[in-house]
Amino acid sequence: MDVNPRFKKLFEPGRIGQMALKNRIVMAATGTSLEREDGFVDDRIKDYYEERAKGGVGLIVMGIGAIDHPRGRVLPGQLGLSDDKFIPGLTEMAEAIHRHGAKVAIQLQRGGKLSTEDMAAGVQPLGPSVGSVPMSEVMQDMATTEIPRLMVRFAKMPAKMETIALTVEQIQEIVEKFAEAAERVKKAGIDGVEIHAGHGYLLSEFLSRSCNKRQDEYGGDLKGRARIVLEIIKAVREKVGMEYPVWCRIDGREFEIEDGITIEDGKELARLLEEAGVDAINVTGYAGPVGGFYDAPLVYPPGNLVSLAEGIKKVVKIPVIAVGRISAELGEEVLRQGKADLIAMARALVADPEFPNKIASGKMEDIRPCIYCYNCVAQAFWGEPVYCSVNAAAGKEAEFRIEPVERAKKVMVVGGGPAGMEAARVATLRGHEVMLYEKGRRLGGSLVFAAIVQSDNEGFLNYLITQMRKLPIKVKLGEEVTPALIEDIKPDVVILALGGNLVTPQIPGADRHNVISGKDLRQMMSDRLKRFLKPASVRRLTKYWMPLGKRVTIVGGDIVGCELAEFLTERGRKVTILESETDMNTEMSIPRRWNVMRWLRQNGVTMLKGVNYEEITSKGVIITNSDGEKQTIEADTVVLAGSVEPNVALSQAIEGKVPQICLVGDCTELRLINGAVEDGARIALTI
């Protein structure tokens, strides 16, 4: 296959030590909780990785292999590396990945203060020094609605728990365990090991002054703090030899951590690791478990960790791997500019395993893009399996495999939002004859508005619309489906993807001229968009436009209210959010919610929870606040963000008149993008 010349560098062969790679795209480690709790490989985790190997990636690094399984786990499910009994499963995994020409490695990892599985079992975690465990901090920081779920997982954890400082003998045992794990990995036919010395796990705690307070030879200056890692490399080399690929993942810098690792530490460490005989350095970053995710490691600003890789590349001769929201275009540029030798990606490949093949063949518009919702990684907080909002098959590859149907059916999809479009896409790929009806003038449904207020959603909107255009789907825009039309068309299956009914809070004065309902706001945005043809430009078009007053009060603090607040604040409005419940924005993934709430606070948005709405006047909203006091929140414009409720009138009207009726997405309950996509795909696979 001729490679798209735009990405020539990405598809040049790569190398780590003796390991030749077919290209320079690496799947960065993803600990998924798809792994079994007993540490053995099974079909589910094998399918997850094999799917990504099939998609054309050069190297897959499997996440957090537990060198001391079951101790030191940070997720319930981690692949075990602590016993020979795990070798046959790892061999099967290697064979599955090798079938597609990719190479495979696994991270050697042990948790310290983040060993949540130890804590959940009431076992005190280990660390370089006595120190606090951040889990209690995380629990305090969680919104109240999340605590019950956390409490289930950490029921046995005492309210206050500290790490125990490792003795030198215990350190030696851990060094040996790393080495034995590497030997098993090699025996299993896996191509290399990545020693995980970042992300707040045990080795990075030794490296970071913030955790390592030791006075002995394992503490002090960087050489002392790095001693355990250097000893591990030596012990690993003794077991696997000099030819076997061994490298390290390190934090080029710790963000938001007092006394954390600096880039100068990162550089010095890289030099020590090179001297000790590693074949490459994978440069990531860390920012603590509470709220820091957006800085590192799951960086939000595109390419924001590249400068760390670039800095380290200047001081070593071995290959350097860069990571952190790197797009194909940026990856190509980073390689061309010599800032790194290999480009690692995680979320792009969770969202679309075929990403490498699609960029190689120039099918950029077919890439299903990550929307940076952080739902995949939020699952780790509950120890539950990863899923992806835009890719229902992620982690459920077998369940969501698209197989051709024996008998094609006439399928009528009603509603052109994400649920309807995903159902239409999957049903068509299976061979059904699909018609998609949308009463509006454009496809997208509520996703259009979601893309306006949160630009990361826009790529997914465009992807779905493109698929509707490319696939043999009869799309009818501007046609509201009625029971009569359905009887007329006589489909075998009707998939109702109508979206929810918008509910507007009933507040005296809600009909005043200074009040805009969710429906009005959508109408205003739609009217504005009508003038423009390309959906790709929705956000740009609304950049300067917004016919709202200077002071805006949003009634309703769910995901929509909070995103709208962010959007309006960015456009110069002074925003207040009012919420009658005791918590806000509970639909968002934890890391994203932390970040959004922090941003709102830092940018002067007032957020009042647990309020009673009394009346809307020309001056604003009169409320009774959570202390029982009456208060007027002054506003030029009041937006009623409201919520959605099930929309079942059409399904009731056609009951018994069509062989099969299915409901998907928000018309059943608020399902958000992830639920809409999952429902759409699932139903299309069952008809």
Ligand X SMILES: Cc1cc2nc3c(=O)[nH]c(=O)nc-3n(C[C@H](O)[C@H](O)[C@H](O)COP(=O)(O)O)c2cc1C
Q: How far is CA 399 from the centre of its chain?
A: 21
Closest C-alpha among 526, 505, 497 to residue 646 = 497
Smallest distance from the beta carbon of 448 to ligand FAD, in angstroms? Answer: 8
Partner whose binding site includes residue 374, from ligand SF4, ligand X, ligand FAD, none (CB under 5 to 8 Å by kind) = ligand SF4
Compute the Cα dihedral for 500, 581, 674, 352 and give only its sign: positive
Select from 394, 395, 448 the least CA-distant residue to 421.
Answer: 448
Q: Which residues pair with 342 in a beta bridge?
A: 321
Residues recognised as catalytic: 201
Q: Interface residues with ligand SF4 (CB under 6 A)? A: 347, 350-351, 370-376, 388-390
Residue 77 beta carbon to ligand X: minimum distance, rounded to whole angstroms: 11
Closer residue to ligand SF4 in complex, CB, 318/392: 392
Q: Does 340 bind ligand X (CB under 6 A)?
A: no
According to the binding rule CB under 6 A, does residue 678 interact with ligand FAD? no
Query: What torsion, rounded to 10 degrees, do the Cα atoms 326, 329, 335, 338 define?
Result: -90
Distance of CA 548 to the CA centre of its chain: 33
Name the binder of 560 from ligand FAD, ligand X, ligand SF4, none, CB < 5-8 A by kind.
Answer: ligand FAD
* Residue from 199, 227, 396, 409 binding ligand X (CB under 6 A): 199
Instruction: Determine the interface stretch with ligand X among 23-31, 202-210, 485-493, 502-510 (rule: CB under 6 A).
Output: 23-31
> Which of ligand X, ligand FAD, ligand SF4, none is residue 29 near (CB under 5 to 8 Å by kind)?
ligand X
Task: Pick the closer one to ligand SF4 by CB: 395 or 491.
Answer: 395
Task: Say how many residues touch ligand X, by CB under 6 A.
Answer: 24
Contact 122, 160 (CB under 8 A): no
Query: Which residues, including other chains, have CB under 8 Å from residue 652's CB and lie 6 or more apart?
Result: none
663 binds ligand FAD (CB under 6 A): no
Select from ligand FAD, ligand X, ligand SF4, none the partner in contact with residue 454, using the beta carbon and a kind-dependent cut-off of 5 to 8 Å: ligand FAD
CA-to-CA dists, residue 505 to 371, 500, 511, 555, 669, angstroms? 30, 15, 11, 8, 17
Please, which residue, 364 or 485, has the CB nearer to ligand X?
364
**Residue from the set 97, 276, 318, 386 that interacts with ligand X by CB under 6 A:** 386
Q: Are 324 and 297 in contact (CB under 8 A)?
A: yes
630 bridge partner residues: 624
Backbone angles phi, psi at 495, to 5 degrees: -105, 115
Which of 83, 264, 275, 480 is close enough to bind ligand FAD by CB under 6 A?
Answer: 480
**Interactions with ligand X, residue window 159-198 (CB under 6 A):** 196
Helix (H) or strand (E) run with residue 223 in it? helix 222-225
144 vs 279: CA distance, rounded Å:
46
Of the candidates 200, 233, 284, the residue with the CA atom closest to the CA atom of residue 29: 284
Q: Does residue 228 bind ligand FAD (CB under 6 A)?
A: no
What are the distances in angstroms from CA 442 to CA 4, 557, 680?
32, 28, 19
Q: Shortest gap between Cβ of 27 and ligand X (angstroms)?
A: 9
33 binds, among ligand X, ligand FAD, ligand SF4, none (CB under 5 to 8 A by kind): none
Interaction residues for ligand X, span 409-468 (CB under 6 A): none
C-beta of 31 vs 125, nearer to ligand X? 31
Told to check if 28 binds ligand X by CB under 6 A, we report yes
Minimum CB–partner distance for residue 591 and ligand FAD (Å): 14
Which of ligand X, ligand FAD, ligand SF4, none sits in contact with 388, Cβ below 5 to 8 A by type?
ligand SF4
Site string for ligand X, 240-279 (x = CB under 6 A): ---------x------------------------------
Residue type, 299: V
Q: Which is nearer to ligand FAD, 168 or 484 (CB)?
A: 484
**Shortest distance (Å) from residue 355 CB to ligand FAD:** 21
Round to whole Å and give the CA distance between 25 and 56: 9
- Give the helix/strand (H/E) hosting 474: strand 474-477
Residues 430-469 that bind ligand FAD (CB under 6 A): 437-440, 445-447, 449-450, 453-454, 457
Q: From CA 229, how far away is CA 217, in angstroms rounded?
A: 13
List 19, 473, 498, 555, residue binding ligand FAD (CB under 6 A)? 498
Q: Does 555 bind ligand FAD (CB under 6 A)?
A: no
- By CB under 6 A, residue 284 contacts ligand X: yes
Residue 516 contacts ligand FAD per CB under 6 A: no
Q: Which of 194, 254, 354, 563 binds ligand FAD (CB under 6 A)?
A: 563
**Nearer to ligand X (CB atom), residue 235 or residue 394:** 394
Interaction partner, residue 260 (ligand X, ligand SF4, ligand FAD, none; CB < 5-8 Å by kind): none
Q: Work out which of 499, 556, 591, 642 binds ligand FAD, going by CB under 6 A.
A: 499
- Residue 351 binds which entry of ligand X, ligand FAD, ligand SF4, none, with Cβ cut-offs from 5 to 8 Å by kind? ligand SF4
Distance, CA of 447 to CA of 525 (rounded, Å): 13
CB closer to ligand SF4 out of 345 and 622: 345
Of 562, 634, 557, 560, the residue nearest 598 (C-alpha): 562
Assess contact for 335 and 2: CB atoms under 8 A. Answer: no
Interacting span for ligand X (CB under 6 A) from 79-87, 295-303, 330-338, 476-484: 295-303
Angle at alpha carbon of residue 252, lines to 250 and 256, rounded to 5°: 110
Q: How far is CA 587 from CA 146, 374, 523, 548, 674, in A?
A: 11, 12, 24, 26, 11
Q: Which does 390 bind (CB under 5 to 8 A by kind): ligand FAD, ligand SF4, ligand X, none?
A: ligand SF4
Whole-angstrom Cα distance, residue 12 to residue 651?
54
Amino acid letter for position 197? A
Q: Which one of ligand SF4, ligand FAD, ligand X, none interacts with residue 166, CB within 5 to 8 A by kind? A: none
Strands of 354-511 (E only): list them: 410-414, 433-438, 474-477, 493-496, 501-503
Asked if 492 contacts 657 with a C-beta cutoff of 8 angstroms, the reply is no
Which lies closer to ligand X via its Cβ, residue 299 or residue 616? 299
The CB-of-453 to ligand SF4 minimum distance in angstroms stands at 17
Element (H, E) at 328: helix 328-336
Any bridge partners for residue 314, and if so which?
Answer: none
HSE-CB of 115 using CA atoms within 13 angstroms: 29
If one asks whether residue 595 binds ligand FAD (CB under 6 A), the answer comes out as no
Q: Which DSSP string do the residues of 459-471 spell out, in sequence order?
A: HHHHHHHHHHHHT
Alpha-carbon distance of 82 to 85, in angstroms, equals 9
Q: How far is the CB of 583 from ligand SF4 (least distance, A)?
A: 22
Do residues 673 and 447 touch, judged by C-beta distance below 8 A? yes
Q: Strand 103-109 and strand 59-66: pairing?
A: parallel
**Is the distance from CB of 19 to CB of 35 less than 8 angstroms?**
no
Give the pair of three-digit tokens for residue 105. 């490695």
Strand order, beta sheet including 131-132: 126-127, 162-165, 131-132
Shortest CB 422 distance to ligand FAD, Å: 8
Q: In the complex with ligand SF4, which residue's Cβ is closer, 177 or 347?
A: 347
Residue 68 interacts with ligand FAD (CB under 6 A)? no
Residue 51 or residue 183: which is nearer to ligand SF4 going by CB? 51
Q: Which residues bind ligand FAD (CB under 6 A)?
A: 414-420, 437-440, 445-447, 449-450, 453-454, 457, 480-481, 497-499, 559-560, 563-564, 650, 665-666, 671-674, 676
Q: Which residues bind ligand X (CB under 6 A)?
A: 28-31, 63-64, 107, 196, 199, 249, 284, 297-299, 323-325, 345-348, 376-377, 386
